[in-house]
Structure 1
Amino acid sequence: MKILVTGAVGFIGSHVAERLNSLGHDVIGLDNFNDYYSLELKHLNAKVLEEKGISIIKKDLRDEDLAECLPNDIQYIFHFAAQPGISQTSTFEDYFSNNIIATKNLIDFGLSCDDLKLFVNVGTSSIYGIEATFPEDIAPKPASHYGVTKLAAEQLVLQKSREQLMQACSLRLYSVIGPRERPEKMYTKLIALGLQNKPFPLFEGSDKHLRSFTYVGDIVDGVVSVIGNETKVNSEIINLGTEVEHTTKEGIEAVEKVLGKTIELNVIPKRPGDQSRTKANIDKARKLLNYNPKTTLLEAVQKQVEWYKANFSN
């Protein structure tokens, strides 16, 4: 199968591209290599993919000439590219253009493909709102520009499925952790600062937040399992994540255990729009995809520490 992965040099997109390649698919990666976070990490991910024979196209989905840069015989699209997370440095225009306009352009490209079997939109638990513990049919209440624009992008994709113009689904991911996690995210930052003996900035009250910290390999299992299940997943929203909850404090303690040291905490003001609880309800994923994440938090942290030390620790 010829498969397009957008956001291919990012955290989760790179893992999915790598897995699809290992399964024998012809994978084309697309990424705009923006400087929202470390280009060093993006180029490191790109090198890993290119060494496996995955071609990477540097292109912004917001560009009008998208179709001129891609072959029209793409059979699957996995859409990871987005303005990520809840960041006070990102403007509404950043979220709007990267999450809505870019997705609309990619949909238009998908509609022009000769044999597109499935458009897979990658959503987020932030769509649900401050608490994300619900099944997929609950009314979403996003509490951030990120969540609002990701919901809009999701609905743009599913609209085409409802119109029977293409088969499509949306996967809502929960608190993904593991190797290649972005440098501003909790675990990479904890590991980096812990190794440097520097304090970790902890948002006030967030130590009590509950999260479905899900190992990226378990997420990838669910993502790639849609292949061959196009009819089952068409028009569906599906949660992917672990049902096991941990507090942020427990996450910090897991990193301390693996590093063998205590990490100093520097409490800073709360972050607006941050979720207080995420717990993946994966009943639908189990039913449709036989989804069953198994990696423990400690195992995930161990793998992430090993990756970080191998690539960034002097």
Structure 2
Amino acid sequence: MRVLVTGASGFVGRAVTDVLNSRGFDAIGVSRIERSDPGRAAMRVLSDPGNVAEVRELLSHAQPQIIMHLAGVTSASSNRALYDANVVFAANLMDAALTMTHRPRVLLAGSAAEYGPVPTELLPVREDFACRPNTPYGASKLAQTNHAFMVAERGLSLVVARLFNPIGPGMPKSLALGSFAQQIAQMDARGAVLTTGDLDVVRDFMDVRIAAELLVELALNSTSHAEVVNVCTGHGRRLLELTHKLIEISGVPVRLQRDDARRGNSDVRAFVGDPSKLKSMGLNPDGSDMDAVLKAILQDARDEIRAT
């Protein structure tokens, strides 16, 4: 089976293509530039995701049975650039899929940010919660979801996988644990100060490798014509506790120093998803060994520094 993966060179995309390759699928990644090291997937160049004709030509040549649209950005220089990356590309991809003789099934990577703030008494949040995103990123991802359901009415089968907080080796340095691992990896045996933002927050963290397995399963086996599914564990973990564990694993003396200028994409104190729908489909989101994941994140950061 041929699977087209946008964002294949990104954090989640690399994990997904690993899963696809391990299962013997024909994985085709999409890149905006020619790559000399395609790595986990054969690559196709899409120089302008905003060009409908080019997107259609890509699908016509690739003829995928499944499209896993994982490309996107969490921030951009302008709202227009954000919507181009998170809405226009997806819209063009879905429109192109509709023109194919044998229409592929589409999985879109959504985001927990689509929900916006959720009252504590309504956590863990379910898919039927009324979305009111409070960040440009969340609004753009919800726009992608809304467009997807409109396209589904025209005959495209799709699933929106609302990802919560995947973590693992190779995670972006713009995310808290990725940044902390990079800072610690640069320290010598004497240790140093680790600069953080607010650590007193609770999130639904998941090993990216488990998230990738779930995404592939949803793309292959979701039977609904169009639906949203939370990809989450249902278990909240405090960022402070994971940070202390990361420091313990490092084996170096680290002092925490809070910098209020370091802010994430959301001021929400606690955010946890309800995986009931995922589990009703026979999919198990449990099994993230956080000690092992944190060790892998730190080792990856150290390996990267040694290589430079």
Which interval holds the TM-score relative to the shorter structure?
A: 0.7 to 0.9
- Residue 66 (structure 1) aligned with residue 55 (structure 2): yes
Counterpart of 1:284 in structure 2 is: 277
- Residue 246 (structure 1) aligned with residue 249 (structure 2): no
- Residue 189 (structure 1) aligned with residue 179 (structure 2): yes
Cα distance, 1:56 vs structure 2: 4.4
| Preserved CA contact (<8 Å) 2:109 2:160 | yes
Q: Give matches, 1:152-167, under 5 Å.
A: 152-161=143-152, 163-167=153-157
Counterpart of 1:294 in structure 2 is: 287
What's the C-alpha RMSD, in Å, of the aligned pairs? 2.3
Counterpart of 1:92 in structure 2 is: 79
For residues 209 and 218 of structure 2, the distance between their equivalents in structure 1, rounded to whole angstroms, comes to 15
- Residue 150 (structure 1) aligned with residue 138 (structure 2): no
- Residue 31 (structure 1) aligned with residue 31 (structure 2): yes
For residues 271 and 183 of structure 1, the distance between their equivalents in structure 2, rounded to whole angstroms, comes to 12
Partner-residue secondary structure (3-state), 1:122: strand
- CA 1:250–1:235 in structure 2 vs 1: closer, same or farther (change >3 Å)? same
Gaps of at least 5 residues in structure 2 are: none
Aligned counterpart for 2:166 among listed residues 158, 166, 176? 176
Partner-residue secondary structure (3-state), 1:264: strand
| Preserved CA contact (<8 Å) 1:199 1:266 | no
| Preserved CA contact (<8 Å) 2:185 2:301 | no
Cα distance, 1:263 vs structure 2: 4.3
Aligned counterpart for 1:226 among listed residues 215, 218, 222? 218
Q: Give matches, 1:40-79, under 5 Å.
A: 47=37, 50-52=38-40, 54-64=42-52, 65-70=54-59, 71=61, 73-79=63-69
> Which deviates more from structure 2 when the two are superposed, residues 55-64 or residues 257-266?
55-64
For residues 32 and 41 of structure 2, the distance between their equivalents in structure 1, rounded to whole angstroms, comes to 19
For residues 272 and 188 of structure 1, the distance between their equivalents in structure 2, rounded to whole angstroms, comes to 15
Q: What count of residue pairs does the alignment treat as equivalent?
A: 295
Cα distance, 1:275 vs structure 2: 3.1
Aligned counterpart for 1:303 among listed residues 285, 289, 296? 296
- CA 1:228–1:298 in structure 2 vs 1: closer, same or farther (change >3 Å)? same
For residues 258 and 23 of structure 2, the distance between their equivalents in structure 1, rounded to whole angstroms, comes to 44
- CA 1:121–1:305 in structure 2 vs 1: closer, same or farther (change >3 Å)? same
- CA 1:258–1:59 in structure 2 vs 1: closer, same or farther (change >3 Å)? farther
- Residue 120 (structure 1) aligned with residue 111 (structure 2): no
Counterpart of 2:97 in structure 1 is: 110
| Preserved CA contact (<8 Å) 1:118 1:230 | no
- CA 1:195–1:53 in structure 2 vs 1: closer, same or farther (change >3 Å)? closer
| Preserved CA contact (<8 Å) 2:185 2:302 | no
Partner-residue secondary structure (3-state), 1:176: strand
For residues 199 and 112 of structure 1, the distance between their equivalents in structure 2, rounded to whole angstroms, comes to 55
For residues 168 and 96 of structure 2, the distance between their equivalents in structure 1, rounded to whole angstroms, comes to 32
Amino acid in structure 2 at the alignment position of 1:75: Q
Amino acid in structure 1 at the alignment position of 2:211: I
Gaps of at least 5 residues in structure 1 are: 34-42
Percent identical: 21
Q: TM-score, normalised by structure 2?
A: 0.87
